Chains A and B, each alone.
Chain A
């Protein structure tokens, strides 16, 4: 008789997913790894895990393809193979018990769910400052982890690596994720409206520069985590990126790596609101 499955529900970005396994050790591993993101909400989706023999995390590229006939996604890498059907919300995963493989599967699943809902995962650190979320994106070495290390004590870290973004009534909301980068520390499980996205560059001084919409979309698309070989979903993501650029201020933040850069971030909202108010006043009456 097969061993009974045990379930842990992990809720990231307000989307509860039930993860089930027969393996007690793996259940404990995922409970520890996603501590802070465990939820008692009814799951929207379910993934059954079946473990293979222990092995290393694969360096292979992941392949994410839609099987149109069966209406399911096939997600494959050297260390895991998953199937997930959006229509039923159910899927199964064969992987070894490596936690990094587990992280990868969850990230990919969330990227697919989000793409359909107008959200996305962004290669960016994010944090809440004075009730508003700020995103810090850029290539490896640009300063994402540095920004989180320099954050003052009153800043709430959402992630130092993978930001989770969903559309909201007034723009976009950022959510904390357990997906950690160099900092090796999961984010807080909370959310805030996005105030700005900064593309980072290290320099000799702190400076905030405007970006053209085209440059902003280009940089955004380059840093969105998207794995699926699917034209329709790629087009939807492009539309989402354009919408995000239209609704969220996006700037280049050149920074000298010391704590003063956070003054620049704190002042951004105040300066931005002042500028918007000034532009509003400058619109001629009959324009």
Chain B
């Protein structure tokens, strides 16, 4: 398995709501609150635990948004690192069972 194969899943400790076109995510363990932009929302929604991040970027992000694939991958990895540090996303180099309801 290549080293850069990253799998992401939504944590079960979160609540998410889309309101007026914005995705709001709350970590219910500590009530921290995040607002996701359109690209981040697309990644968040695709975080099913078994689709590699690079596939999400290639098939969802690059198709939906006019972005450079290399830059999109770098931005996505940075976003995933940030949200995982807040317990919103789970990250692994193996497929994960998504904890949160779809």
Chain A interface residues (CB < 8 Å from chain B): 212-214, 217-218, 221, 231, 234-235, 238-239, 242, 245-246
Q: Which residues of A contact B29 (CB under 8 A)?
A: 231
Q: Which residues of B contact A245 (CB under 8 A)?
A: 19
Contact digits for B8-35, partner A, Cβ 8 Å, 1 yes 0 no: 0000010101011010101011010101
Contact B28 A231 (CB under 8 A): yes
Q: B30's closest neighbor in chain A, by CB?
A: A234
Which 6 residue pairs are nearest across A and B when measured between Cβ atoms? A213-B20, A235-B15, A214-B35, A234-B28, A242-B17, A213-B19
* Cross-chain pairs A/B with CB under 8 angstroms, 13 sampled: A212-B22, A213-B19, A214-B19, A217-B24, A221-B31, A221-B33, A231-B28, A231-B29, A234-B15, A235-B26, A238-B15, A238-B26, A242-B17
Q: Which residues of A contact B35 (CB under 8 A)?
A: 214, 218
Contact B17 A238 (CB under 8 A): yes
CA distance A218 to B26 in the complex (A): 10
Q: How far is the CB of B25 from chain A (nearest CB, A)?
A: 9
Q: What is the interface residue range for chain B against chain A?
A: 10 to 19
Contact B33 A217 (CB under 8 A): yes
CA distance A209 to B67 in the complex (A): 34
Q: How far is the CB of B53 from chain A (nearest CB, A)?
A: 25
Chain B interface residues (CB < 8 Å from chain A): 13, 15, 17, 19-20, 22, 24, 26, 28-29, 31, 33, 35
Give the secondary structure class of B's interface.
strand
Q: Which residues of B contact A218 (CB under 8 A)?
A: 33, 35
CA distance A231 to B13 in the complex (A): 8
CA distance A218 to B22 in the complex (A): 12
Contact B13 A242 (CB under 8 A): no
CA distance A116 to B31 in the complex (A): 18
Q: How far is the CB of A209 from chain B (nearest CB, A)?
A: 16
Contact B22 A214 (CB under 8 A): yes
What 10 additional pairs, Cβ within 8 angstroms, besides A212-B22, A238-B15?
Answer: A213-B19, A217-B17, A217-B24, A217-B33, A231-B29, A234-B15, A235-B15, A239-B15, A242-B24, A246-B19
Q: Which residues of A contact B24 (CB under 8 A)?
A: 213-214, 217, 242
CA distance A236 to B32 in the complex (A): 15
Q: How far is the CB of A205 from chain B (nearest CB, A)?
A: 28
Q: Which residues of A contact B26 (CB under 8 A)?
A: 221, 234-235, 238
Contact B33 A242 (CB under 8 A): no
Q: How far is the CB of B43 from chain A (nearest CB, A)?
A: 17
CA distance A213 to B22 in the complex (A): 8
Q: B26's closest neighbor in chain A, by CB?
A: A238
Q: Which residues of B contact A239 (CB under 8 A)?
A: 15, 17
CA distance A45 to B33 in the complex (A): 33
Q: Which residues of B contact A231 (CB under 8 A)?
A: 13, 28-29
Q: B15's closest neighbor in chain A, by CB?
A: A235
